[in-house]
Amino acid sequence: MTFKLNNLAEIVASTPKNFDHSVGYHDIKPFNEINDRLIALNRYPLNTLSHSDNLNIDICLWDYENSKIEIIDSSYAWSWEQGARLQWLNKNELIYNKILDGEFVSCIYQINEKKSLHLSNPIYSISKKKNEFLNINYFRLWQM
């Protein structure tokens, strides 16, 4: 189903109405590097207006051409403004933050293999070179 928006843009898909969705912060491109049909998004319980330490979100892949959302993981490490910093590493890998055993970590999810690798630090941003990243001390930030 397609829609026109002021005759300037065509809307090709819309997320399902039974959950609230976000692709993260304005600095994160939700499509992978070849802009194919996969998009990364966060899925929240519907009409959840407040954050809580025990509110888990789903980390998902969205096949918008076929209206399918695949839950690949979940995370307590998120905020409304910036999500779990879910972002693409390449066309087949995502990275996002989680809390494991009380520690903030980042998780690399390999789409084709459907497996995860956990790193000992949370991620904030990755350079275009893909070998440098920015890390934030989220515990300290939360206290501030």
User: What is the full per-residue pLDDT of the chain (144 aa) written as tens digits?
Assistant: 555 566 777 776 777 777 888 887 888 888 888 877 778 888 777 666 565 557 888 999 988 777 788 999 999 888 777 779 999 988 899 999 999 998 889 999 999 999 999 999 889 888 877 677 777 776 677 777
In a domain, 10, yes or no: no
Domain around 51: 19-143
pTM for the full predicted model: 0.81
Spell out the residues 6+ positions from residue 26 whose beta carbon is closer than 8 angstroms to its own. Answer: none
Tell me, yes or no, whether 14 lies in a domain: no
Answer whether residue 108 is part of any domain.
Answer: yes
60: part of which helix (H) or strand (E)? Answer: strand 57-63
Q: Is residue 137 part of a domain?
A: yes
Q: How far apart are CA 104 and CA 106, in angstroms?
A: 7
Considering its fold, how many domains does the chain have in total? 1
Q: Is 50 domain-assigned?
A: yes
Burial, 42: exposed, middle or buried (Cβ in 10 Å; 0-12, 13-18, 19+)? buried
Residue 112 lies in a domain: yes
Calculate Rg over the CA atoms of the chain.
Answer: 16
Pairwise CA distance, residues 30 & 23, whole Å? 6
Task: Report if residue 7 sits inside a domain.
Answer: no
For the chain, the maximum distance between any two Cα atoms, rounded to a whole number of angstroms, is 50
- The reply to whether 113 falls in a domain is yes
